[in-house]
Amino acid sequence: MAKKSDDRGKKAGKAAKPAVGDATPRRQRDSHIMAVTLPAGELSERSQAYFRKCEEKIGYVPNVLQAYAFDDAKLQAFSVFYNDLMLSPSGLSKLEREMIAVVVSSINRCFYCLTAHGAAVRQLSGDPVLGELLVMNYRAADLDARHRAMLDFAAKLTEAPEKVVEADRDALRAAGFNDRDIWDIGAVASFYNMSNRMASAIDMRPNPEYHASFRQGGD
């Protein structure tokens, strides 16, 4: 009788074991641009032309531009500053500037900027693994001395700006950067600290196209 009682107890215990893997996570959909509702502004011809250029070149208008479109003056100020920092002639390559954007955004955990600029790193480098490493932890990446020094400086400027001293600038010089390059590293890192905070403040969401883009080397 004792044995039967034990068997029943085992069966009861087995039946009570919670099911594993029955529920799947909800599919995530970025259905909105931002969490605040602002009336649509009247775009200047210059801004309209910029939007058309985006659609022709990449197939969509980045949500960050659409977010600023409630005020044409703010949209133009943002666009001019962005284009100057990220696209104008510099001792930093476009890829290096995107790398800084990703590392700063990783520290700040900015969903929009990590998604958009992570895609840019994958595109410009042709290396999806590099893009993922910078998103997760740039210190785990196999970087040369130049890029290590550049990203260490950007990270320190983001995490503890009051602790940046001449020795940090000297480390950049030792890695081959001149003083104009140091300005540009600081400017790009500072811009993305601002952009990260603005994106988080309004829950700005990235265009869905970013998520799957340039995941295979050579795309």
CATH of residue 73:
1.20.5.810
* Structural domain that includes position 80: 42-88
In this prediction, residue 13 carries a pLDDT of: 55
**End position of a domain, from candidates 67, 88, 109:** 88
Look at residue 87 in the predicted model and tell me its pLDDT.
95
Q: How many CA atoms lie within 13 A of 116 on its CB side?
A: 21
Q: What is the pLDDT of residue 10?
A: 54
- The CA-to-CA distance between both ends of the chain, in Å, stands at 69
- Which one-letter DSSP state was computed for residue 169? H
Which of 12 and 146 is assigned the larger pLDDT? 146
- Tell me whether residue 217 is in a domain: no
State pLDDT tens for residues 101-154: 999 999 999 999 999 999 999 999 999 999 999 999 999 999 999 999 999 999
| Tens of pLDDT, residues 114-128 | 999 999 999 999 999
Global confidence as pTM: 0.84
Domain boundary among 88, 107, 142: 88
As for how many domains the chain has, the answer is: 2
Q: Are residues 163 and 207 in the same domain?
A: yes
Residues 179 and 141 in one domain: yes
Q: Mean pLDDT of all residues in the chain?
A: 89
Helices (H), 126-144: 128-136
Who contacts 213 (Cβ-Cβ below 8 Å, separation ≥6)? 119, 122, 123, 219
| pLDDT given for residue 2 in this prediction | 54
Residues 101, 58 within the same domain: no
> CB-based contacts of 88: which residues, under 8 Å, 6+ apart?
none
Is residue 71 domain-shared with residue 104, that is, in the same domain?
Answer: no
Q: Do 143 and 202 belong to one domain? A: yes
Residues 150 and 74 in one domain: no
Is there a domain that residue 12 lies in?
A: no
67 and 124 in a single domain? The answer is no
